[in-house]
Structure formats: structure tokens, C-alpha cells
Amino acid sequence: MNPEEYQKLAARTECDQWMALDRMATYRPYEDVHPRQLESKLIPVRANHAAIGIAGEAGELAAAIERWIYYGKPLDVINVKEELGDLFWYMAEMCNALQLDMGDIMAANIAKLRKRYPEKYTDELAAEENRDRAAEREVLEAVVDPTYVDEQASRND
């Protein structure tokens, strides 16, 4: 397959970018937005910035580990700390954008892991066929209220 053919075939599966732009540009969390609530219109923009930042910083962290393990360079622990700090910053920004509590997310993650591994990690419990995703989601929903953005989006419809 040549690159031009691949690009054409790949383009067939892309979502409608104009609709995505419209969703981002016309996001209206409230019918009548008070000037003090204008910042809420930035939710998709802030969430997008955070998601892109997380991906970029995760790549920089992975590159530091790659240089260490695969290229025999000394592990730059200072750089690893910096990248982890940058990841925390972007995660905090995502939480702020979606009005989520970072502590709740941390607690939900531990609750999910306790559900998945009641005593400790085992390869058997980690196997996909042994995981109870519905039970894990139930635990997550009990700790974190995921309805905020969905409620805001439904007000926009």
C-alpha cells in the first residue's frame, strides 16, 4: 500500500471535524450566561489543553525512560521529577476544567484497584477475562460524580 492510498483510507474514518469545532465553539453550559459564568464556556478548551499537555508530558517521561533502558544513558531523575510534576499540573488543570476533585479521583482509583485485586496484584486477576468491568465502574461511580459534564452538555442540546 502506498502512503497516498493509506491517507485516503484513513481519512474515511475521521470524525466530522467541523462538528467537533462547532461543539467546542458553541458549548453553552447555561441558557443565559451571567458575565461571571463566562469562564464555564471554556470547559472544552481547557479540557483539550489539559489532554494535549498530558499526552506531551507522558511522551517526555517515556523518552527519559527509553534513554535509560534502551540506550544505556544514566537515568535523569531530576528530569523524571520534572515530567511527573508537569503531568500533575496538567491533571490538576483537567480536574479544574471539569470541576472534579483530584482527591476523589485518587480515592476512586484505589477503590477500583481494591475491587480488582482484593488482596494484591496477580497475573490471574489482571487477565482481561477475569476482570469485572461493571463492578469496577460501580465502585468508581460511588466515589466520583461523572455527571457534571454530561449535565452541562445536555443543557446545551
Tell me if residue 57 falls in helix, strand or coil: helix
- pLDDT for 23-51, tens place per residue? 888 776 655 555 555 567 788 889 999 99
Contact in structure between 28 and 156 (CB atoms under 8 Å) = yes
What band does 21 get if pLDDT is binned at 50, 70 and 90?
confident
Per-residue cell: 107: 480515592
Flag whether pLDDT at 76 surpasses 90: yes
pLDDT mean across residues, the chain: 86
What band does 112 get if pLDDT is binned at 50, 70 and 90?
very high
